[in-house]
């Protein structure tokens, strides 16, 4: 039997899906197609033509096109992640018989986990494009990503231990 908060979270998720999913899906689908053609077709061809300038120009072009569509879909994606993480928190609470954490704590933790997974996927997609521009650029971007992930883990652990 669903509690009131869970049914509200599911209704919110349904509303967010109706409102944001079509635009977000269109933007991310376009971004993925740009990424696929760029990384699997254009960058290897650019390296075969010439090893320095052509891959740099091609990498920048693909990176800009990919980034435009990722950023256009980001607001809707964030809303979808928030609503989905709330439903996951209620689902976790419903399936576990004894849960010693409040629903707000579970929402914070699931939101942090979902954000970390999304950030790693986005970094994984950006990594070959950044490496095409300059090989160490991908590593330089990875450092703040890892620091942010540690901050999110710290936030989750703090939320669970302090009860906020």
Could you report the per-residue pLDDT of 74-107, keeping only the tens digit for each? 999 999 999 999 999 998 888 887 888 888 898 9
* Separation between Cα atoms, residue 81 and residue 25, nearest integer Å: 13
List the domain range (segments joined by +) for residue 83. Answer: 4-162
Q: Is the pLDDT reported for residue 163 higher than 70?
A: no
In the chain, how many domains are there?
1
The pLDDT value given to residue 75: 93
């Amino acid at each position: 039997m669903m509690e009131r908060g869970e049914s509200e979270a599911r209704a919110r998720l349904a509303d967010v899906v109706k409102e944001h999913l079509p635009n977000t899906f269109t933007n991310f689908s376009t971004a993925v197609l740009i990424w696929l053609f760029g990384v699997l077709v254009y960058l290897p061809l650019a390296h075969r033509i010439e090893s320095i300038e052509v891959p740099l120009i091609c990498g920048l072009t693909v990176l800009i096109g990919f980034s435009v569509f990722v950023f256009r879909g980001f607001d809707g994606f964030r809303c979808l992640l928030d609503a989905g993480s709330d439903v996951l928190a209620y689902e976790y609470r419903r399936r576990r018989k004894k849960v010693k954490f409040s629903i707000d704590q579970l929402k914070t933790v699931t939101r942090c986990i979902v954000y970390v997974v999304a950030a790693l996927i986005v970094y994984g997609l950006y990594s070959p494009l950044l490496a095409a521009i300059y090989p160490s650029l991908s590593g330089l971007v990875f450092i703040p990503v890892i620091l942010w992930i540690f901050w999110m883990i710290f936030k989750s652990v703090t939320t669970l231990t302090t009860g906020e």
